[in-house]
Chains A and B, each alone.
Chain A
Amino acid sequence: MAIIYIENKPYQAPEGKNLLNACLSLGFNIPYFCWHPALGSVGACRQCAVKKYRDESDTRGQIVMSCMEQVAGGLRISIDDPEVREFRASIIEWLMANHPHDCPVCDEGGECHLQDMTVMAGHAYRRYRFKKRTYANQELGPFINHEMNRCIQCYRCVRFYRDYAGGRDLEVFSAHDHVYFGRHDHGTLESEFSGNLAEVCPTGVFTDKTLKKHYTRKWDLQSAASVCVHCGLGCNTLVAERYGSVRRILSRYNGAVNGYFLCDRGRFGYEFLSSAKRIRRAAKRNSASGAMEPADKKIILRSIKEIIAGGRVIGIGSPRASVESNFALRRLVGPDNFYSGMSAAEEELTALSIRIMKSGCASFPSLRETEKADAVFVLGEDVTNTAPMLALALRQSVKNRAAASLKKNRIPEWDNGSLCVIKDEEPGPLFVASLLPTRLDDAATRIFRGSPTQIARLGQAVAHAVNENLPAVSGLEQAVAKLAEEIARELTEASAPLVVSGAGCLSGPVMEAAANIAAALAAVNPRAGLFLALPESNSFGLGLLSGKPLDQAFQRAEKGEVRAAIILENDLYRRSEKKRVDRFREQCRHVIVLDFIDTATAAKAEIILPTAPFAEADGTLVNNEGRGQRFYRVMDPEEDCRPGWRMLAEIMEYAGIGDAGQWTTIDDIIAGLCAEEPELQGMREIAPPAEFRIYGQRVPRQPHRYSGRTAMKAHEDIHEHKPALDFDSPLTFSMEGFRSGPPPSLIPFYWSAGWNSVHALNKFQAEIGGPLRGGDPGIRMVGSSHKNFEYFKPAPVTPTPGGREYLLVPYFRIFGSEELSVLSPSIAGRIPGNLLLMNESDAKRIGAGNGSLVRVAVADAGASLAVKIDPGIPEGVAGYPAGMPGVEFMNLPAWGAITEGG
């Protein structure tokens, strides 16, 4: 910490940081555009000028850009000096000279950084009398709207898109005052992180196209803190609602998880909430006609009571349901009858990953910490498609070597201009071993492509190279052995090496090999980290509840031991082969499905009870790093919908099971959970209890300028209704309450006086870019304090079957593989189609070309797919679009036959 003087008053500021960051952290308001906490400084916009003085006697001072100034002891500056204020006002006047008169029709209006900064800098009247420059717009796909006239040329978009997110197709064109930000031609932005442009752009050039479809100003949005449900990383989100429908998702800053950004699946997947496939009414199958008919919930609860009274009831949980819902189901059916409902491979890998984390074999960095790794080895995971934000983090990690070299030359790390010059010259080591080409390949130092077995063998070889005592891998090819040596060398030399793996290739040996490497590294370097990605939002949390594998449920049904099954928010057709699930359905006399979307499983149910999805429910999700995070409902569930746990509690109360009648709030359930699972004590600490108050007040979900309260529902009823009550959290569906600085896990939206844009976040952080004031929300549920790790033995090499068999490996797509987000129209527009990826020579062999239909068959299942020839795929391997809409489940990786013709 250094002492700096602002307006002659001493303040403490972190040495070496840039001055703008320090001043904002201290609570001063300095306008800025090109600077962004995550993107660093380039000093381009000249807006953040302050006056710097040589010493106490200096009265003239000199104008400097605060973002390019390093904090050093004794630095004397003035923010309020009249000359520098005039300087800033004239800068913004120039920036505004061509800005169109658009605000009323601009989606950024009301949360516009440019508006805020214009007001802050004191520019109020356009003196420039000449004509305004205009640009033609581009069609940028289903996510992002382009309105180039509004541009102030801050360059943040390309700096984020190209330098930060590694995109290629957004560029700067033209020269002088004609600078244009866009693609070379109309077309969809390819990057998986394009949605962040809407938040990064300080004005309305890039805006959220899905929001535009049902546009609402920020001040009219009722918001609540939430957690993304579209992958296992658990990025924090802000969900915003108006007139009973969710309008958009914004990134909710979490200094330990997602930081400032979100992937496009997380940002635009929310549209499934208003999809036609939503279930909103309780329904029962008419025994005569066989059709589902909406029925009164009371009647349905009565029939469920009868079914439960009949005995032999099992419950099947879900990795996309909250911990509370899964626990409520476990309580309803009893631990012996509770099945986790994951596919066999996911079940095994989730359990393995929990076991590895509990063993404490290495350090387990948070998602944000992976950005700081300086050598990364990815095993078998296509992170861009399975855990997208991890890919963004890894793209940052490759810059660390360049940053270190800057440091050596005494150039501060935040000097983004310098970093970008050398980052491609000295890319950090990133090794990617994958089944199929990945989106991270362009950033990788070396790429290894092979089957899961080969990847596991490479991993074991690396582990052996790191630690001689581990068994060597026999029969390794020369090139692979050399690669293993190189990887091992880079990892051992690095100060913070990181091994990334996960359920991406559905192979246990791969994850075991990753754990071995990490453990071997950790033995010599305590900073060595292991990051294991898991497929779904609550895979980890469900794994902690120790449900039984789905296969055992099927076996019990086979023996006739299952009379009724209660399936919670789960589509079994995504978990197991169609034949087996169909058979299971036939063997169960009653199937009760609790879900919020109409899945193939729900279509065959006898009774459907609608649950509430994340925007309408409270609950806890445990992400892949074991971090329990609470999400809050942004609106009360409609019609019959209830949070899964509440619906189950109602069933229990109706059926008179246990003490469930006392489960009225989520806190009751968590108390019940903690009593049964001492390991999950952390659940209590994740979020403040419902009785939490600040000065006796709740935290409002609505901004103070929320409009239309007396007119929104006036057409239905002239009498104004009492707002919905919230018994589960300290939040309220109101604009009244305590708004300055709620605890970080409760922050419903970012706003501060004079800061209407997303940059209001500055006022909620303890230090800009650092943790939130009061600590980042979420609690790691699995500690790794004690070490009891035993190295995994290399898996035996299974012989390759002869004949014309292909190794079918799953491939996942960020847009398409996830069950819920595909129901979102914007994401549906990006689904690549159900294509079987093949090597050209393989395709030729079976006489198939691009687009021709082939038949794929493995042991238990088969499917007809169109072929896509991809030169990056090894011979004998075919990529199967696992989990894509309309694609049948197969237990992969597996050997299978591919024959021509549907």
Chain B
Amino acid sequence: MFSILRSMFLVFIHLFRKKVTLQYPEEKPVLPARWRGRIILTRDPDGGERCVACYLCAAACPVDCIALQAAESADGRRYPEFFRINFSRCIFCGYCEEACPTYAIQLIPDFEMSEYDRRNLVYEKEHLLVDGEGKYKGFNFYKVAGLAITGKGKGEGENEEPPVDVKSLLP
């Protein structure tokens, strides 16, 4: 009986505490850098699309709201022909970002993306792709991958030997 009264009292005195609620539209919340909000596709330091359309984000997505199609450009880079996120399904879990091997897909601290029409929540590549590196600076996938692209031939990547001369028998 006493504990009931005590808990009622303890709850009651919360009446005089400072409120934790932020009056959102007037007061803006300060979001941490790794807050999982709006999803973007970033570019590498040279301005090329980071996304290589490996489909790992789509596979990691628990609500299956990412659809894309891979293509290859004339210079040998893979890129998504289309990249669609259905934000009316997205749960902002960040698994796509975790799965991304090229830091292309990133969740940024912006959540103001409500719409009155669900159809406007379907984001295509042009809505997702930004002109920047996002949170992870300096990474360029093709510099570390073995694949040759225009401007980076075989053996010109980081930590790579020049291509083997098949006709040589020297040790």
Chain A residues, CB < 8 A from B56: 104
Given contacts A102-B145, A104-B56, contact A711 B166 (CB under 8 A): no
Indicate if the CB atoms of B86 and A710 lie closer than 8 Å. Answer: yes
- Across the interface, A104 reaches (CB within 8 A) one of B61, B66, B141, namely B141
Q: How would residues 134 to 157 of chain B score, 1 for a CB under 8 Å from any chain A CB and 0 otherwise?
A: 000000010011111000001101
Given contacts A102-B147, A135-B154, A174-B169, contact A707 B67 (CB under 8 A): yes
Measured CA separation A137–B102 after assembly (Å) = 24
- Within 8 Å of chain B (Cβ to Cβ): is A684? no
Q: How would residues 60 to 73 of chain B score, 1 for a CB under 8 Å from any chain A CB and 0 otherwise?
A: 01011111111110
Chain A residues, CB < 8 A from B102: 104
Indicate if the CB atoms of B84 and A132 lie closer than 8 Å. Answer: no
Segment with Cβ contacts to B, from A35-43, A212-220, A384-392, A868-876: A212-220
Chain A residues, CB < 8 A from B164: 133-136, 174, 178, 180
Indicate if the CB atoms of B52 and A105 lie closer than 8 Å. Answer: yes
Indicate if the CB atoms of A219 and B160 lie closer than 8 Å. Answer: no
- Across the interface, B67 reaches (CB within 8 A) one of A178, A214, A711, namely A711
Measured CA separation A100–B147 after assembly (Å) = 8
- Within 8 Å of chain B (Cβ to Cβ): is A147? yes
Given contacts A132-B160, A216-B70, contact A105 B147 (CB under 8 A): yes
Query: How far, in Å, is B107 (CB) from chain A's closest CB?
Result: 17
- Within 8 Å of chain B (Cβ to Cβ): is A886? no
Given contacts A104-B52, A132-B160, A134-B154, contact A711 B89 (CB under 8 A): yes
Given contacts A174-B167, A212-B72, contact A707 B162 (CB under 8 A): no
Query: How far, in Å, is B51 (CB) from chain A's closest CB?
Result: 9
Measured CA separation A178–B170 after assembly (Å) = 10
Query: How far, in Å, is B170 (CB) from chain A's closest CB?
Result: 9
**A contact residues, total (Cβ < 8 Å):** 45
Chain B residues, CB < 8 A from A137: 148, 154
- Within 8 Å of chain A (Cβ to Cβ): is B31? no
* B residues 28-77 in Cβ contact with A at 8 Å: 52-56, 58-59, 61, 63-72
Indicate if the CB atoms of B70 and A150 lie closer than 8 Å. Answer: no
- Within 8 Å of chain B (Cβ to Cβ): is A479? no
Query: How far, in Å, is A93 (CB) from chain B's closest CB?
Result: 17
Given contacts A109-B54, A217-B59, A220-B55, contact A707 B64 (CB under 8 A): yes
Given contacts A100-B145, A105-B78, contact A707 B58 (CB under 8 A): yes
Name which residue of chain A comes closest to B155, CB basis.
A134
Indicate if the CB atoms of B64 and A708 lie closer than 8 Å. Answer: yes
Measured CA separation A5–B69 after assembly (Å) = 49
Measured CA separation A698–B85 after assembly (Å) = 30
Q: How would residues 97 to 122 of chain B score, 1 for a CB under 8 Å from any chain A CB and 0 otherwise?
A: 00001100000000000000011011
Measured CA separation A701–B83 after assembly (Å) = 24
Query: How far, in Å, is A872 (CB) from chain B's closest CB?
Result: 33
Measured CA separation A817–B124 after assembly (Å) = 43
- Within 8 Å of chain B (Cβ to Cβ): is A131? yes
Indicate if the CB atoms of B161 and A710 lie closer than 8 Å. Answer: no
- Within 8 Å of chain B (Cβ to Cβ): is A714? yes
Measured CA separation A105–B84 after assembly (Å) = 19
Indicate if the CB atoms of B146 and A149 lie closer than 8 Å. Answer: yes
Indicate if the CB atoms of B66 and A707 lie closer than 8 Å. Answer: yes
- Within 8 Å of chain B (Cβ to Cβ): is A859? no
Indicate if the CB atoms of A104 and B67 lie closer than 8 Å. Answer: no
Name which residue of chain B comes closest to A705, CB basis.
B59
Chain A residues, CB < 8 A from B66: 707-708, 711
Measured CA separation A149–B145 after assembly (Å) = 10
- Within 8 Å of chain B (Cβ to Cβ): is A176? yes
Q: Which residues of A contact B (CB under 8 A)?
A: 100-105, 109-110, 130-137, 147, 149-150, 173-176, 178, 180, 182, 212, 214-217, 219-220, 243, 705-712, 714-715, 718
24 A-B Cβ contacts within 8 A? A100-B145, A105-B54, A105-B78, A110-B59, A131-B160, A133-B164, A135-B163, A147-B146, A173-B166, A174-B168, A174-B169, A178-B168, A215-B70, A216-B55, A216-B69, A219-B55, A220-B58, A705-B59, A708-B64, A710-B63, A710-B65, A711-B64, A711-B122, A715-B84
